[in-house]
Amino acid sequence: MSRIVVGMSGGVDSSVAALLLKEAGHEVIGVFMKNWDEKDANGVCTAETDYADVRQVCDHLDIPYYTVNFEKEYYDRVFSYFLEEYRKGRTPNPDVLCNREIKFRAFLDYAMDAGADAVATGHFCRLGKDVDGSVQLLRGVDPGKDQSYFLYMLGQAALSRAVFPVGHMTKAEVRKRAEAAGLVTSGKKDSTGVCFIGERRFKPFLKQFLPASPGNMVTPEGRVVGRHEGLMYYTLGQRRGLGIGGAGNGERWFVLAKDMARNELIVTQGGDHPLLYSRTCEGEGLTFIRGEAPAAEFDCTCKYRYRQPDQAVHVSVSGNRCLVRAVESQRAVTPGQSMVFYQGEVCLGGAVTDKVLDAGACPVPQREGCL
């Protein structure tokens, strides 16, 4: 029997994770992490609601439960990065960093200090062993819920102490199991939005921390077609919320790039515009699950964003940077987003997209510094 501390969010996945471990005979302790102390857009403090669900689930399972406050760690290690990336005009993915810095660093340290043998979460992924004995991160069985993408920054030290009890199940099976066990979270809606912050009206939320800086929306030819509220509020390939009228031919407008120096949002008509596509990009912060790259150059598949179908790529490694060449053109590859590498069901690691080197990298002639 092992002592396993379960990170419980108040959702159905972590609830069933605790249930399965308890049924397997482990000593299970539930811990709720409080990392953000603020009401959501509807005036509801989701942390209070979620913790109430954790209490009910743990009482039902007859396991002890605690709460731990990582608000400072979350702000310093995750949210400050989130804001800095938006200042640069990039589109960050804070959930990835949250997993590395909070769930599998601050929380893991807390659990180990409490005498735990391992920590468990409700992530839809699995663990395996390579031929050399190193831990592998594997995709979850449910392709629609696989969350290995968000865990690619984890290394051997964290994964060797991790347990993912629901990774072999589909989401439907998880809900069915929760319902059969009478867990209050069985029908609870899946959480969305920023990790630990939840669903927010994005612009008003970001305006609390970063001042808006309006500017022009321009075509690749430099024609002004509208005004933007601030480059931070837009991402490459975006269609909704541009507010450009009088299109003439009826084609929708899309974001092509951001000119940070001129504070201009470069837009075009048509979702299949050639300037939205590229094949080559650079990544920074390159990390691998086993601690090293498979080779200096290797072929694999890649997800440039979560839920994207796997794309065939060739990766060239140079220190903590990489050059990624896709076999087929990719739409709206976005600086700040994670590109995660796979070989079959095995997650190799990944990097943060830094520069797009062709096509839409800077569609306006004689301009530098476009994102």
CA distances from 26 to 14, 58, 120 (A): 15, 14, 12
Query: Could you tell me the two tokens for 172?
Result: 């439907």
Alpha carbons 287 and 315: distance in angstroms, whole number: 13
Of 331, 149, 306, which is closest to residue 239 (Cα–Cα)? Answer: 331
- Let me know how many helices (H) and strands (E) the chain has, helices first: 9, 17
Query: Could you tell me the two tokens for 46?
Result: 């989701």
For residue 95, give the H/E element and its range. Answer: helix 94-98
Residue 314 bridge partners (DSSP): 299, 325
- Roughly what angle, to the nearest 10 degrees, separates helices 12-23 and 171-180? 60
Q: CB of 65 within 8 A of CB of 316? A: no
Kindly report the backbone phi and psi dihedral angles of residue 92, in degrees, each rounded to the nearest multiple of 5, phi listed first: -80, 165
Amino acid identity of residue 79, one-letter, is F
Choose, from 58, 98, 281, 362, the residue flagged as catalytic.
98
125 noted as active-site residue: no
Q: What is the CA radius of gyration of the chain?
A: 22
281 noted as active-site residue: no
Furthest CA-CA distance within the chain: 69
Q: CB of 292 within 8 A of CB of 276? A: no
Q: CB of 52 within 8 A of CB of 32? A: no
Query: Could you tell me the two tokens for 262?
Result: 């001129």
Alpha carbons 286 and 103: distance in angstroms, whole number: 20
Choose, from 45, 58, 125, 195, the residue flagged as catalytic.
195
Alpha carbons 324 and 262: distance in angstroms, whole number: 29
Alpha carbons 197 and 32: distance in angstroms, whole number: 14
Kindly report the backbone phi and psi dihedral angles of residue 208, in degrees, each rounded to the nearest multiple of 5, phi listed first: -65, -25
User: Coil, strand, or helix at residue 46?
Assistant: helix
Active-site residues, by number, are: 98, 195
